[in-house]
A and B are shown apart, each in its own frame.
Chain A
Amino acid sequence: MQTDLLCALIPLFPLIGFIINGFGFRRIPKSLAGAIATVAVLASFLTSCFLFGAFLGNANLTSTAGPLKAVLFDWISVGDLDISFSFQIDQLSLLMLLVVTGVGSLIHLYSIGYMKHDEGFGKFMAFLNLFVFFMLLLVMGSNYVIMFIGWEGVGLCSYLLIGFWNTNTNYNNAARKAFVMNRIGDLGFLLGIFWIINLFGTTEYTDVFKQATSLAIGDPEILAITLLLFVGAMGKSAQIPLYTWLPDAMAGPTPVSALIHAATMVTAGIYMVVRSNVLYTLSPLTLEIIGGIAIATALLAASIGLLQNDIKKVLAYSTVSQLGYMFLGLSVTAYTAGMFHVITHAFFKALLFLGAGSVIHAMSDEQDIRNMGGLRKSLPVTFITFLIGTIAISGLPPFAGFFSKDEILAHVFEHNKVLWALGVLGSALTSFYMFRLLFLTFFGEFRGTEEQRHHLHESPATMTAPLVFLAILSAAGGVLNLPGGGWLSDFMAPLFEGSRQVNPEAFAESTIDHSTEYILMAVSAGVALISGIIAYVMYVSRGAVPAPETTERSMPEQVVYNKYYVDEFYEAIIVRPIRGLGDALYSFGEFIIDGVVNGVAWLVRAGSNQLRLLQNGSIGFYVFAMVLSIVAIIALRFFVRF
């Protein structure tokens, strides 16, 4: 009972925050609105911590007793289908809860400083709270439909926040693109849910997974279900072919990019796969497909990141690429490693975005790194924390990213050497574009205008404090799961009982010995280091600056710079044909159908005009017709009995 209440409180706090700020917008002063929103998320964080502590303290729960459930009420109930509004607290939801509310609190705090001068401040904080509410539903739901509520809800908030500055048509288009692309994924997710309902008769995780353990590996229905669910994940977690919305989503205010488009929402796809790990373990083919898509996404996005000049776009492509790494881990059933990377990525990518926000703030809304440079003197805190974030994401020891990425790559190595090599290549690209970004922004000479130079300043404490917190986490996050059986692996192990049962081989002890493991670590760290040094030589020693827009580029460079023309390709093969079809159906299709209807009406009228002639008023003709009819009827009766 008490835990039911606690569970309900966690999403309730941000919901209340949303309602207060939503209704009180323009009446509540900014300082109060900011405080309300931040405290709401902080309260959820503290409640989550309390639940986490209780969970750890309760040995029964962590081992065999199964997850804790809080049923609030019956939501949709039709015949045998019963979908309750209920939450499930287990290792996975607790981890996500802590990340979402923890990082969320810091970003709320940061937003107070970042959005201070915006007239829509209260509305902004309300939307952020609403986002946290839906994100919490997503990770706490005890069945797929509650997850779907959160899933679509965060999509809505993402829409509202990307298009927050809604007088700008480009921003609005970006917001709409994000929502629609996510909806394509959502359709897959929804159909997956239907299939689950028809196969298992329920959507409750515990019941579904229990029944699933009795199925054989490679079951075709499970293949279909997992693929459909993964379509949903592709949309939300920006994988090929549904990734192009995420870079555009950078139109939103920077805290939004940090919270929604880096740390939390975009990892929902990984959460979903880990949550459904039994189903995915049952379907090796799906995992192969995920692996292929993941590595392709990781490399494609990283390569685009190499040439981008917008500080947020670089980070956006980096996010797409890192999400690819997470899926890569999942594809070799390294679920823990995938989740580990979700957590460390939440730390360092939120840090990098917030750092970028601090830079943009200082540069009077300048986002082009070609106009930055030398900022480390005027933004010391931002610089140090950004440096830590860069080292973390590049996979240099001993910061967080090294451990999580290394764990993924080690598992991939066992599974498939080619994938591993590609993964290391991606790692090299990551390190290069990140250090390029760092050097162009913080080193060398200042390249902005005189006015910008004059205005340069370190951000206020509400903004730097979250940076420092996140920098500490990014630096030390690796201790969560040190190589050779860390805390996280032990903690999450019960989640994969079902998977272990259906496919023990996939969870067998690692076959690679320690020396190989060390060599792998050294290779990935070494490659990252070399990339970083190359970037140093190019952008610091030689002081190179990316060419302005107008420069002629070589053919391959041109293609990469324009993001492989994928947006243009979609425009040509999907958007325009649908528009054309809409016009054609409206003008031509409707014309034909209506023509048939009118034609029928015309036939009736023409026919009745002819029939009218029969009524000519001549008695003789009537008698004649009558006699003829009677003869006809008698004759008919003679031939046919009726």
Chain B
Amino acid sequence: MNNVNTSNITKNKPILSDTVLIAIFGALWGFMEISLGAILKGIRIPMGGAILTAIACIIFLTGRNFTQRKGSIIMMGTIAAILKVFSVGTVIAGPFMAILIEALIGEVMISIFGINLFSYVFTSGILTLYTIVHPLISQGLIFGENIFKIYLETFKQIANLFNIDVSYLGWIIVLYAGIHFMLGAISGWLAFSLATRVKKDFIDLLHYRNYTL
């Protein structure tokens, strides 16, 4: 049974069509964004955005493993973003843009590096790193470039007040970014491992139920 070529799941159309797979993983991503997103926002957990992105990576990268269609991550992301827009009780503009940009970055990275462990780990790592940059981008769009001038000036004032050396800030940022990347890398590894295991279990299940691949 283990000799069954797992790529048959996607190559043989009757088993699972790309359209249904993309729709289902997009809906799962959207549901996760609405439910877990609201919980994480409510409890104000540190790195909540990175955690949400890491889980999103697990979902869409696992889904991407089952479909060969290019642009599938963008489609899943668009579904998730639209669902998020219509979810009640959230500030919509930021997360909407974040999901779309995440999907775009994910799609580009997977198209370049292909479906393998390295690309999954690297893509997820980059995406969780992006969560650090995203607030700056969205605030730049909403408030304009002057918001950066205010941030910079505020930082200088705080540094002067506490006599903090600028080089320390550099190390803090590197450490913070490193933690984000690690979180992403773990989720990428998990997505790859999950997809491999799910393929096996799903084939076993279909075989058990006498479905032909």
A, B bound: no
